[in-house]
Structure 1
Amino acid sequence: MTKPPLSILLCAPRGFCAGVDRAIQIVDLALERFGAPVYVRHEIVHNKYVVEELRRKGAVFVEELDEIPDTGQPVVFSAHGVAKAVPEAARLRGFFQLDATCPLVTKVHREAEIHHKRGRHVILIGHAGHPEVIGTMGQLPDGAVTLVETLDDVATLEAPDGAALAYTTQTTLSVDDTRAIVEALTERFPTITAPHKEDICYATTNRQASVKAVAPRVDALFVVGAPNSSNSQRLREVAAREGCTRAYLIQRAAEIDWEAVGEIRTVGITAGASAPEVLVEEVIDALAERYDVTVETVRTADETIAFNLPRELRAGAA
């Protein structure tokens, strides 16, 4: 039988960002240099495939430090960052720590600390329960940060009496949603201090811009990423908002619901910042089994950013 034609529009940039790449390298190099096990607090990045690959090599993933036995082996903190109490607890137990926090998340941590030192109450725009938000709020004493998730939260926000205000944001939010929340904050609190530079990271912004360029042109769009990945969820939302009513977040090609997808002549594919390219290729292969595919890359930005590895691993990296 002749396969029906299908045009694939491949979003670029997509997939791994510099912070994710650095975090995975840290675990890989720690395993090479110090051997297994290497303990990792929380998923190093939000992608099951990546986590399972590292587990196969000898990484042991835990949610809390008390799950780790007394050891001289490396203990790695995930790319999302941790509250200040976590490295302090690790120090008290004598752990050899490797911090894989994305430098752009660390930037937000330092901003929050500076605001606090200057007497400002910090408004954090983000999603409750996300590891990055927990880590950022954990840089300051209890009560020093107020979390805002929605426009309704801004409308009902009660700032501490007489306190100067500053805001910062989670790095993986929707650019458009965050802009609306920032506008509402500045309207209610005209003297609120903004970040020196936008906190939503370059990779989140670039991936959303690429989806905006592709979504109006396709019948369906697949976002390769994990359901607990904030930036991947935002990509699906952006696609739907830009007119692609069939936008799906999938972890692997096996999750494609062909009946729900229905008839398609053009399809877009992107990947969240934690998703490896091998999973994008897997989706393309699955489409190629059913369709006569042509692939066009739609590039909206070039990314050349790379981050330094921790000092303890640089010799091993060379």
Structure 2
Amino acid sequence: MLLCAPRGFCAGVDRAVQIVELALERYGAPVYVRHEIVHNKFVVEGLRTKGAVFIEELTEIPEADVERPVVFSAHGVPKSVPAAAQARNMFYLDATCPLVSKVHKEAEIHHRRGREIILIGHAGHPEVIGTMGQLPEGAVRLVETVADARAYEPTGDRPLAWITQTTLSVDDTKEIVDTLTERFPDIVAPHKDDICYATTNRQEAVKAVAPKVDAMVVVGAPNSSNSQRLREVAERAGCPTAILVQRAADIPWDALPALSRLGITAGASAPEVLVEEIIGAFADRYRVTVETVRTADETVAFNLPRVLREPVVS
């Protein structure tokens, strides 16, 4: 068994989960969370048992609880959301990943400089909704595929700029960017790649392992963009079978090929306990030895909101 490293929780996910946990410790239950804090059912259910209440819109918070803390998810939110919270005098904590916030700032700068903004991403994903919601409607246009990039027509004579969702396939994004750059040589690129370090690192680890194994198991949620991309990367890198599962109970044993060597990785919102559970499930059926294949070391950490770092005043 080859275990990809890095895998699992990234700094942004770790920070977001900590924000909910610390808010529960400091303020007690309930703490409201707008949208899943991260895309992982196990993590969400664990926080729910501690007193987190997950909602999709702030209007779901009853007036009696309007002073209770509300946390915005790691994916980011449109500007209309904190504005609505302020209008109701809510106390909110923003768990948006700092790397997503960086993309928001880039979009705002491009807009101020009069550029037409192309966002490379997946329609309907919370991060995309949040990024597009930083600016007036129509200011950001979405491109999902190379075909979209080939068909893209600017709305006027403004200069163009592109930004991306942080959890995309590195290879797919490069193809789209190359197409846009070929068509619009003066298009403005980000100063630094928008795809986050964790997404890149996990995909590179999968590329190193995938050609060496009979199957790859990606631990993650079906609505997790970065987890889905890991499965796709494994297939493209030569792995005959790549599956995405949330937990050991989801493993489709009958669909797996004859195994002599298995690869395992985990999306950025999947905790290590689920990886261990998967390893245990295979150990119950096979004679297993585990070897870690490490392609990068990660030392990134993000600060918590100041209000959660300050000592409690009794």
Give 1:68's match in structure 2, choosing from 58, 61, 67. 61
Match of 1:77? 72
5 Å-filtered alignment, 1:89-128, equals 89-128=84-123
Superposition RMSD on alpha carbons, in Å? 0.8
Match of 1:22? 15
Match of 1:280? 275
Counting matched residue pairs gives: 310
Structure 1 residues 261 and 175: alpha-carbon distance in aligned structure 2, compared to 1, 3 A threshold: same
Structure 1 residues without counterparts, runs of 5 or longer = 1-7
Match of 1:50? 43
- Work out whether 1:11 is the aligned partner of 2:18: no
Structure 2 residues without counterparts, runs of 5 or longer = none
Q: What code does the residue aligned with 2:32 have?
A: Y
Deviations 1:146-203 (A, max 9, x none): 1000011011111021111100000000000000000000011111000000000000
Question: Once the 2 structures are TM-superposed, how far is the Cα of residue 316 of structure 1 from its aligned partner?
Answer: 5.3
- Work out whether 1:181 is the aligned partner of 2:165: no
Q: What code does the residue aligned with 1:47 have?
A: N
Following TM superposition, the consecutive aligned residue runs of length 4 or more in structure 1 with deviations greater than 6 angstroms are: none
- The answer on whether the counterparts of 1:121 and 1:165 sit within 8 Å (CA) in structure 2 is yes
SS of the residue aligned with 1:294?
A: coil
Q: What code does the residue aligned with 1:50 have?
A: V
Greater RCO between the two (CA within 8 Å, min separation 6)? Answer: 1
CA distance in 2, matches of 1:91, 1:73: 13
Q: What code does the residue aligned with 2:23 have?
A: A
- Work out whether 1:131 is the aligned partner of 2:131: no
Match of 1:5? none
SS of the residue aligned with 1:75?
A: strand
CA distance in 2, matches of 1:99, 1:245: 41
CA distance in 2, matches of 1:315, 1:45: 25
Identity of aligned residues (%): 74
5 Å-filtered alignment, 1:26-41, equals 26-41=19-34
Match of 1:227? 222
Match of 1:210? 205
CA distance in 1, matches of 2:138, 2:252: 45
5 Å-filtered alignment, 1:123-272, equals 123-272=118-267
Q: What code does the residue aligned with 1:38 have?
A: V
* TM-score calculated relative to the size of structure 2: 0.98
Match of 1:312? 307
CA distance in 2, matches of 1:119, 1:316: 44
CA distance in 1, matches of 2:282, 2:148: 42
- The answer on whether the counterparts of 1:15 and 1:273 sit within 8 Å (CA) in structure 2 is yes
CA distance in 1, matches of 2:273, 2:306: 30
